[in-house]
Amino acid sequence: MLNNHRSDIITIDGPAAAGKSTIGEAVAERLGYRYLDTGAMYRAVTWIALERGINIRDEAAVTALAGEIKIDITAPTNDDGRQYTVLVDDEDVTWALRRPEVDADVSAVSAYPGVRTAMVAQQRRIAGGGEAVVVGRDIGTVVLPDADLKIYLDASAEERSRRRYEERRDRDEDADYAAILRDMRRRDRLDSSRVMAPLRPADDATIVDTDGLSATEAIDAVMEMVCRGAN
């Protein structure tokens, strides 16, 4: 085990579709750790705002919503291919979070300082106690800066868009690669340029470029770092 004890936290950050979810889930399973995809929490806020008819551009209203709802991420509760179950005030919203309209608005929502403050508090609550693999955009830099091991996954916008395109096709959803690529680049700009907690590697993170790597190869590369306690 990492550093020969069981109270470790591993953070995995990186842009959209860099492989964080696939790799994070696999690493957590191999270690027997909990898996927390924090991006799902921002998606949950976005989805609930859309469902309630809240204007995504109304920062005050979206921030108030983020402070009112309770989000939990648990092990899968249904055998339907999900990696985890996302509950908002005990309502299962797991699959709704991958809808295109959520993709279109989640970067705007996650850029609001008040939303991020509310989500960081919930993320620290869920990750408390250690033995967790936590993935997101600012986990190693802001949420859990004292984590034992920090990894930053990266890949080109083209590669990440191809993955998102294939993911949607596999779910029998409409998919337009050019549109996905445009949205991916827009999200990268928003995530990297936001004032609060911009997307960037932590100073002590190990960067892993997943371009050209299969999921298995990327997982093995990260597990090698975990096993040797790299930082």
**pLDDT value of position 44:** 98
Quote the domain boundaries for residue 95.
2-216
155 assigned to some structural domain = yes
100 assigned to some structural domain = yes
227 assigned to some structural domain = no
96 assigned to some structural domain = yes
Angle at 210 between CA 141 and CA 44, to 5 degrees: 55
Q: Contact at 8 Å (CB) between 210 and 19?
A: yes
CATH number of residue 133's parent domain: 3.40.50.300
208 assigned to some structural domain = yes
Q: Which one, of 111, 110, 72, 107, lies nearest residue 93 by Cα?
A: 72
d(CA 100, CA 104): 6
**pLDDT value of position 195:** 83
Q: Is the pTM of this model over 0.85?
A: no
167 assigned to some structural domain = yes
One digit per residue, the tens of pLDDT, for the chain of length 231 reads 454 443 489 999 999 889 998 999 999 999 999 999 999 999 999 999 999 999 999 999 999 999 999 999 998 999 998 889 999 999 999 999 989 899 899 989 988 999 999 999 999 998 988 899 999 999 999 999 999 999 999 999 999 999 999 988 988 888 999 999 999 999 899 888 888 888 999 999 999 999 989 999 999 999 998 887 644
Roughly how many angstroms between the first and final C-alpha of the chain, as a whole number? Answer: 14
Q: Contact at 8 Å (CB) between 118 and 180?
A: no
230 assigned to some structural domain = no
**pLDDT value of position 3:** 47
224 assigned to some structural domain = no
Strand ranges for 124-227 from DSSP E: 132-136, 149-154, 206-209
Counted domains in the chain: 1
